[in-house]
Amino acid sequence: MTDRGAGDRALFPPETIVEIKALACELPVRLELPFSRLSHGDIACEAVLRGIVVSISVKTVWRYLHSDAIKPWMHRSWLFPRDPLFGERAARVLDLYFRLFDGIPLGPDDYVISADEKTSIQARHRKAVGVGPLPHQPRLVEFEYDRMGAWAYIAAWDVHRAKLLGICDKTTGIEPYHKLVDLAMQQDPYRSARRVFWITDNGSSHRGESSVKRLSEWYPNAIQIHTPVHASWLNQVEIFFSILQRKVLTPNDFPDLETLEATILQFQALYNQISKPFKWKYTKDDLKKTLEKIQAQTDTINQLRRAA
């Protein structure tokens, strides 16, 4: 190492830089370190302790690692597709959004409902009254709160009519889902519809072929359509849940469960007055591109596994 003085970059021979990068690529457990990953500071410290360098700055370590195209010391979460019929099931949902089923356009008495549950919505009673906004200061909300219980909000979104139906219940499951189905299917236009397609995920309230059969027994004109496993982003009601979270539940300050329920249902009624169908733009062509990208990534990962 050549020390050129304070403020100058230290110069290390190529073999030393390679050793530092190799250290960064090691799993901490193999280095007998109790970390999940190594920070730049950890790498600099270990390089000194292991005699690779006499001293090295954290900034120099960052510069060496940042310049590399491949960064094995970094990670991101990755969910491997496990549904063998992912493409087929996703395409069927997308067809319904564009008013098709089995390649045939839906009729005027066919309806598409997207349904799901938003679980564990807590009523958080703040321990002190908040302070309203002041000049150059936002509203202040007390950090501490008492938990006053929680609701599950179970909702059904009519994709093309932009109408919302929902209930609050203490839990999720087959019976609360049945209540929601009854709420919808016992009123027009669904009661007299030719077909009502219910798009749901694979949660315990409506999982598998048993749920498909159960729904048809409840109402013969109701047809259950499942999204693929790990594809809740395909379910349009999730968009409304995100609106509810922003508009009603953030910040969360409710004195009791009754107030929380009343507020959710009041917002639901208000939303029905102004709602419009979501501008859904994701098509089967987009799905094909997504699946091709995932397959390419999966093939690369499998090659790396075989080479390891």
Query: In the chain, what's the furthest Cα-to-Cα distance?
Result: 85
Q: What is the mean pLDDT of residues 184-207?
A: 96
Predicted confidence (pLDDT) at residue 3 exceeds the cutoff of 60: no
134-167 burial, b at 16+ Cβ within 10 Å, e below that, comes to eeeeeeebeeebeebebbbbbbbbbbeeebbbbb
Secondary structure (DSSP) of 60-109: HHHHHHHT-S--TT----------TTHHHHHHHHHHHHTTEETTEEPPTT
Task: Give every CB contact of residue 182 below 8 A, 6+ residues apart in sequence.
Answer: 218
Report the candidate in 267, 257, 265 with the shortest Cα–Cα distance to residue 122: 257
Written as six digits, the tokens of 115 are 């349904």
9: confidence class by pLDDT, cuts 50, 70, 90: low
pTM: 0.81
Decide if 256 contacts 148 (C-beta within 8 A).
yes
Q: Is residue 210 over pLDDT 90?
A: yes
Give the length of the chain: 308
Q: What is the DSSP letter of 228?
A: P
Res 10: pLDDT:
61
**CA–CA distance, 238 with 267 (Å, rounded to integer):** 16
- pLDDT, tens digit, for every residue of 117-145? 999 999 999 999 989 888 988 989 999 99
pLDDT exceeds cutoff 90 at 163: yes
Is the pLDDT at 254 greater than 80? The verdict is: yes
